[in-house]
Amino acid sequence: MAVTDRLPQQPLQVDAVVVGMGPGGEEVAGRLADAGLDVVGVDERLVGGECPYWGCIPSKIMVRAAGLVAEAHRIPGTVGTAMVHPDWRPVARRLRAVTDEWDDKAAVDRFTTRGGRFVRGRGVLTAPGEVTVETSDGAEVVLRPRRAVVLAVGSEPAVPPVPGLSAVPYWTNRDVVEADRPPASLLVLGGGAVGLELGQALQRLGTAVTVVEAAPRLLGREEPEAGELLVRALTGDGLEVHTGTALTSVAYDGDRVTACCVRGERLAAERLLVSAGRRVDLARFGAGVLGVDDTAPALPVDARMRVLAPGVPGASGPRGPGPGVWAVGDVTGHGAFTHMAVYQADVAVRAILGRGGPRAEYHAVPRVTFTDPEVGAVGLTEAQARERGTAVRIGRADTAATDRGLTHGPGADGFVKLVADADAGTLAGGTVAGPYASEMLGALSVAVAARVPVAELRQTVWAFPTFHRAIGDALRQLA
């Protein structure tokens, strides 16, 4: 059963309710249904969540298209001549095709064929062990799970408190992906991964892009060297980049957005993209029922993804009456990544089914910014490790020096930076920036996750000629 009008009379007794059917919620709901549980999945938007419709997949289609344009510009002087005329129309057609015109019928069918039931609407915790769904047609469905409530509600774009912003028809990443045409000019508010990926892609496809970041550098949570490398690369592509620049106001006159900066600069563009991170709205789905602060940035969970709150049976002791409550994905505060949500989903499913297995660990979470050059990182940065009081050793190598310009030519700039725990003799973290960084990151992710001794890593034979040989160079530089 897939739609509300096929559900039995309420209140409906089921085994489990999953609120939010993004990557994590869909994984949980599907696997619980596979296990024979009576599961209802709830979402007011599209099953699959942000990733397949507006996030990971569509944005990488844009990045890939823009990368082809950049590669074509590198042909002169390397292999011949080329004339490049970027055209948004085939990119837009591809985006519409891969998202099924932003239709989730296939995803809903995929879930219901596994035995689950789906209700379209906003799920709200209305009492311990009770979820009320406000459906799209104005009806209400009350769900009372016997075994589990799983909260996988995701996050939404954070909107900074800039005076005048509420009166400006600004874009988020969703508007960029759904655009029929790219704007002639774009002002990007925020120098994080999403803003930089979309900004660089649009610049290469013909939009004049300006990035404004209030913090002193781009990618503020990553190694400073990564931000410095991206400033050089982005400005080389023609983007205008302002760091350490806070906005005092924004205004829209019907044709253009004008932003006033704290140092007096005035920046104008046809469109404004707000890309200042993401936030979780706990109050919107009734988290206060659990006894938590619904203004907090995330739900507290244990290593089995169970919500730690006074209103959750058995959350801090033996299981009491009523269903348990678990949470996965953005709402847990452990990173707004699809791979994190799916990882946590596996932990939660095993816990709900009583299958045990490994607990959640977060010492080796990988993250990638798909700019050109790419920036991939896992574990701790140098600053984060030092803040924890870790005795660190740092190793660094330049990818351009490793390549020596022999195979890749232009575009080989980048680096590998390793952060070792001197006492443990293992890697606490690592960053790769440059060509194929997202793929090179795999080796570092395994090393950090498995806590492979640095002494063993140094014995690794790195294939020649490859960029990942720079990892070996950085290991030799650890000091």
Of the candidates 461, 463, 374, 370, which has an alpha carbon nearest to the alpha carbon of residue 416?
374
Cβ-contact 273, 186 below 8 angstroms: yes
Model pTM score: 0.94
Joined tokens for residue 104:
């989730």
| Cβ neighbours of residue 461 closer than 8 Å, sequence gap 6 or more | none
pLDDT on residue 319: 47
Query: Residue 363: which region, alpha, beta or left (left: phi > 0; alpha: psi -120 to 50)?
Result: alpha
371-416 pLDDT, tens digit per residue, is 999 999 999 999 999 999 999 999 999 998 876 555 555 567 999 9
How far apart CA 6 and CA 333 sit, in angstroms, is 35
173-198 per-position pLDDT tens digit? 999 999 999 999 999 999 999 999 99
Burial 208-240 (b: 16+ CB within 10 A, else e): bbbbbbbbebbbeebbbbbbebbbebbeebebb
Closest CA to 59 of 194, 165, 169: 194
pLDDT band of 316, cuts 50, 70, 90 = very low
Write the pLDDT tens digit of every residue in 88-137: 999 999 999 999 999 999 999 999 999 999 999 999 999 989 999 999 88
What are the structural domains, with CATH classification, of the chain? 4-48+104-155+280-352 (3.50.50.60), 165-276 (3.50.50.60), 366-477 (3.30.390.30)
Judge whether 409 and 426 are in contact, CB under 8 Å: no
The amino acid occupying position 4 is T
Which two structure tokens, joined as six digits, stand for 70? Answer: 């950049």
Alpha-carbon span 414 to 403, nearest angstrom: 10
- Rg of the chain in Å (alpha carbons): 24
Per-residue pLDDT tens over the stretch 337-357? 999 999 999 999 999 999 999
The model's confidence at residue 317, banded by pLDDT at 50, 70 and 90, is very low
Token pair, residue 277, equals 């991170």
Type of residue at 143: L
- Note the pLDDT tens digit of each residue in 257-305: 999 999 999 999 999 999 999 999 999 999 999 999 999 999 999 999 9
